Structure 1
């Protein structure tokens, strides 16, 4: 049984493809000018007041940042009558937002990598390995250790004609040491060398390692990603990343960015959008469509970040 595709749908898809192709041909400077022109149209229409979109008013992600409502009312001390209620504001928990971004990126990154590996033209059986990298000393973490390990792993994949696909999360042990959990996708018949073996060319000379076969890679990673809390995120060493995804192609990176965007952005943009965060809102990198954020942020005297929502027709100075 066959179904006829409506002509309107075909025309809309052709229009989107044409606009996306035109956008890709633009230089970075031209893209910035295009976004600025779109924002200028908003100003001309009266929906944005000139000069109201500043870097300090960058959009916030309320659902991902552990917001706490602080609604207050003001009272006129002379008459005793209540004034107009002050704007409801939310305190942003940046550590909680960091944990949520990790869970969303790790789950979707692992899912897309697993799907792409099994949909290759030369599809084959895969051997998924679960690696654990542990430091010998509790304070042994230094910037660049994991980067050197990934570089050695990528070199091994190139020499063995294997595409490097991996997802990793960082976890704090009870003794305060950072250790890493990583899942890698390898074709059947390919075996990783022990990363801690070798005196001069060990991939991980900072402690011990463990390699096991992963039956449920996404479940393994989410088990450790779900352990991260706002309190534990604040205890990570300065500059220590909590997660990473490697091996995604262009479409895979776009899909992960799509699911990391707030829900109100995903509802307003098509599923084919390459959503990028920019000053004052979000932009579709394919078409240059700009979506103004209804959220504004401010920093209190104590350094705490607050967010409040405004109407699209309201002007904020």
Structure 2
């Protein structure tokens, strides 16, 4: 999660520069009696996406779910300069509790805060606890590659498109070439795979 959020933040900043966007730190808090649903954050983002689509701007976002006293989402979204996310719209789009928005002066620092893991341990099982979106093809590929195991990153050619392979390993969907981890898990720990004869 941390690697994905960090790399996504870099790619979002690249796109934000090209589109002239600025970062907003947003918190969506549930009422203490409410439990989170993935549909809630999706509906909120859909409404925001529709608003930006009319301006020809993609919705760049990162969100994480946390629980302290109440469940809440922290988001980093990117808006066109001059565009505001007013309190009335936020309240209409988030009927589950409170909202708070402020200018994000340090997007890199906020991305690090979003990726912390301490407040994600008390989440209900099966609930999604983070999401990202809005990246162009280049950004998606950069993030996808950054999230691969390090050994695979070193072995892959630049334009490879690896996918997990049932039964173990990775396969390049463009060439069919198979990549197997040089490591093996054993009860006594992880060791190097012995060379094949």
The two structures share one fold, judged by TM-score above 0.5? yes
* CA–CA distance in structure 2, aligned partners of residues 312 and 149 of structure 1: 52
Aligned to 1:155: 50
- The yes-or-no answer on 1:178 pairing with 2:65 is no
SS of the aligned residue for 2:85 comes to coil
Aligned to 2:162: 275
Once the two structures are superposed, residues 250-275 of structure 1 have per-residue CA deviations (whole angstroms, 9 ceiling, x without a partner) of 22111111111111111111344333
Deviations 1:186-241 (A, max 9, x none): 111112233443xxxx2111010011011111211212322x14xx5442112221
Query: Aligned in 2, Cα 1:171/1:306: closer, same or farther, shift over 3 Å?
Result: farther
Confirm or deny: 8 A CA contact 1:196 1:207 kept in the other structure: no
**Bigger mean CA offset, 137-146 vs 106-115:** 137-146
Aligned to 1:241: 128
8 Å CA contact 1:129–1:211 kept in 2: the answer is yes
User: Contact 2:64/2:114 (CA < 8 Å) preserved in 1?
Assistant: yes
- Structure 1: tracts of 5 or more residues without a match: 1-101, 299-304
Relative to structure 1, is the Cα distance of residues 117 and 273 closer, same or farther in structure 2, using a 3 angstrom cutoff? Answer: farther
The one of 85, 91, 94 equivalent to 1:192 is 85
> How far has the Cα of 1:140 moved from its partner?
2.7
Q: If the length of structure 2 is used for normalisation, what is the TM-score?
A: 0.85
Question: Is it true that 1:118 corresponds to 2:35 in the alignment?
Answer: no
Give the structure with the higher percent strand: 2
How many residues were matched structurally?
Answer: 194
Distance, in Å, in 1 between the alignment partners of 2:142 and 2:29 is: 31
- How far, CA to CA, are the matches of 1:255 and 1:307 in structure 2? 31
* Aligned match of 2:196: 313
User: Structure 2, unaligned stretches of length 5 or more?
Assistant: none
Counterpart position of 1:285? 173
Aligned residue in 2 for 1:260: 147
Secondary structure at the counterpart of residue 125 of structure 2: coil
Measure the CA separation in 1 of the matches of 2:30 and 2:161: 38
Pick the structure with greater CA Rg: 1
Distance 2:147 2:6 in 1: 11
1:135 CA drift (Å) = 0.8
Instruction: Report SS of the residue matched to 1:112.
Output: helix
Cα RMSD (Å): 2.4
Pick closer, same or farther for the CA change 1:286–1:213 going to 2, 3 Å.
Answer: farther
Structure 2 match to 1:131: 26
Shift of residue 132 of structure 1? 0.6
Q: Does the 8 Å CA contact 1:138/1:178 hold for their aligned counterparts?
A: no
Distance 1:270 1:182, change over 3 A: same
Per-residue Cα deviation, 1:285-316 (whole angstroms, up to 9, x for no partner): 34333212234568xxxxxx9974432417xx
Structure 2 counterparts to residues 196-207 of structure 1, below 5 A: 196-197=90-91, 202-207=92-97
Contact 1:276–1:283 under 8 Å retained in 2: yes
Instruction: State whether structure 2 residue 100 is matched by structure 1 residue 217.
Output: no
- Secondary structure class of the residue paired with 1:144: helix
Q: 1:306 to 1:140 in 2, by over 3 A?
A: farther
